[in-house]
Amino acid sequence: MKHRGFGALLMALPLSAAGVVFLPRNTQIASANSAPPYWEGATGAGAIMAGEQCPIQVEKEHLKLELGDLPEGVFDSEEDFRNYGGKVTAEYTFYNPTAEDLDVTLVFPFGKLPEYAPRSEEFFEREAAGYKITADGKDVPYELRYTYNDSPYDGRFDLSKELSRLYPSPKAFYRDDLPVHIHEFDVDVPKQAEEYDWTNFSLIFSGSQSKTRLFASENFSFGVRDGRGKLIHSFNCAAENSKSFIIYVLGEDIKEIEWEVFRYKDRTAEIDADAVVTHKEERETTFSELVSSFKPKNGISEEDFKNAFIDYIEDSTQKNSCVSYVTPEGLAGNDYAFMRWFEYKLTIPAGGKTVNSVTAPIYPTIDFSREQARYTYEYLLSPADRWASFGDLTIDIETPYFMSGESLTFTPREDGSGYTLTRKGLPMGDLTFTLTDGEPEDHNNNRFPVGSADNNAGLVAAIVILCVLVAGAVVAIVLLTMQSRKRRLVREEEERKLLQARAQEGKIDLPEDEEK
């Protein structure tokens, strides 16, 4: 019983450590009616050289972020979105070291909208929302370009992928005279429709995976049965007794076409013997004519829409099949399916300089999961690596808020108006930083969203504490064991000597028990 207190301490260690592990600092319990804790922002970008590397040099770049305004959450109206004041201006001083005037094509991406942007169909033309391009103080004319936007509410921006969509390599399959076969089916379910929930129209066919692309006028599911494709379109037969369904087949036409119609009552399928399917006369056109028939009247050029439509089809084609999960309205009728760019040209005189400035709104990723909301901004610096050389970089962040988690080292201004960085050459990586309305809770964990490495700081600390305490306990056990063993050896040696002495006297007595 001598070491009962020490044993109690050992028993308490895991419980104490567990308290730290499961209740780290800044842990909050979200209420059921609380707002979403995390909103994806949109990456900012400046001017990007469109073509291959050219001799033009960037003598210096001045990047100014004016962030006196922080979005409080989802913008409830178009007006609130317009009035948001956060913006970034990138000013480049270009130098032409050659003996000839050089024409340079640049692009300036709108980027992708943040998750908290308005979602109305009447969404305003974003070129009127604070975007501006100048050269030597004068407005620069531009052309509005469009590309397919596969993830309109995702703030991440992949420059290589996006530029390859803006200036794509020719795709041999999608030539202008590619034949397009249009199959139209009328499905009539005239009897007792009110007793049934849904009707499935199944189209079964054979087709080439490499020579054919197929999509439809309506959403559908697809599978393969016995080496043949099976396309299924469901519709509410209680609401509509007939349905027109169009299949567009690009390239080699589908073959061995069959169909089936099933009705569902209480989730039980029954073949509909009364259904009438009419396969109308097949029409044929060309890919160029098909694209023109789908093109919306929103100012997009024929070439940009065709390239966007090709990307739309290819990105949505099921692997190892000819079937693409797209509809004409999915692209033509969806303003968010396009990413917009300003494309403009500059002429930089031989041995001369041009100062080009671009201005755009910039939208942070918002993290409301903590008591102190965090606004993380990201701006692409890496595209400037496409220029022949890069000189001085100055970044001014004008804001009254606290900054932390920055990817580059800034110097706070003495007047408290913001932060400044100056350096020679282009840094590796891009610019990220976090703003908070108050002293940051943790200076070392401000870049990551909910559930990422920074939110595990308490867990890591607890594990370290636990390891230290357990290690200390182990050392203490070892020391006590060694001490006890040493005392036992000393006692045994004393007993041996005592027995030897008594044996020499002709009598042997057992030693008394020390515990008595």
Model confidence pLDDT, tens digit, residues 415-430: 999 999 999 999 999 9
pLDDT at position 483, please? Answer: 53
Q: How confident is the model at residue 195 (pLDDT cuts 50, 70, 90)?
A: low
| Same domain? 95 vs 31 | no
| Domain-embedded: residue 155 | yes
| CA–CA separation, 195 and 281 (whole Å) | 32
Query: Residue 87 forms beta bridges with which residues?
Result: 66, 361
* 220 pLDDT more than 70: yes
pLDDT at position 116, please? Answer: 83
| Same domain? 73 vs 51 | yes
Q: How confident is the model at residue 30 (pLDDT cuts 50, 70, 90)?
A: very low
Q: Burial letters for 194-213: b for 16+ Cβ neighbours within 10 Å, e otherwise?
A: eebebbbbbbbbebeeeebb
Task: Average the pLDDT over 376-401 and give the result.
Answer: 94
| Mean of the per-residue pLDDT values of the chain | 77
Q: How confident is the model at residue 34 (pLDDT cuts 50, 70, 90)?
A: very low
Pair type for strands 87-95 and 283-286: unpaired
| Domain-embedded: residue 49 | yes
Least confident among 152-166, 229-243, 371-385, 488-502: 488-502
Host domain of residue 408: 39-166+336-364+374-425
| Same domain? 118 vs 5 | no
pLDDT at position 194, please? Answer: 58
| Domain-embedded: residue 315 | no
Q: What CATH number is associated with residue 59?
A: 2.60.40.3680
The number of domains in the chain is 2
| Domain-embedded: residue 104 | yes
* 179 pLDDT more than 80: yes
Could you report the per-residue pLDDT of 311-351, keeping only the tens digit for each? 999 999 988 889 999 888 888 777 778 888 999 999 999 99
| Same domain? 66 vs 162 | yes
| Same domain? 27 vs 43 | no
Least confident among 113-122, 216-225, 250-259: 113-122
Closest CA to 75 of 114, 36, 110: 114
Q: How confident is the model at residue 12 (pLDDT cuts 50, 70, 90)?
A: very low
Q: Could you tell me where the beta strands, DSSP code E, fall in 52-178? A: 57-66, 87-95, 102-109, 132-135, 138-139, 143-148
* 86 pLDDT more than 70: yes
pLDDT at position 6, please? Answer: 29
Structure tokens at 106: 């640049």
| Domain-embedded: residue 438 | no
Q: How confident is the model at residue 399 (pLDDT cuts 50, 70, 90)?
A: very high
Task: Average the pLDDT over 501-509 and give the result.
Answer: 40
pLDDT at position 120, please? Answer: 58
Do 23 and 461 touch, CB atoms closer than 8 A? no
Least confident among 25-39, 207-221, 481-495: 25-39
Residue 308 is classified by DSSP as: H
Could you report the per-residue pLDDT of 119-154, keeping only the tens digit for each? 654 454 554 567 899 999 999 999 989 999 887 666
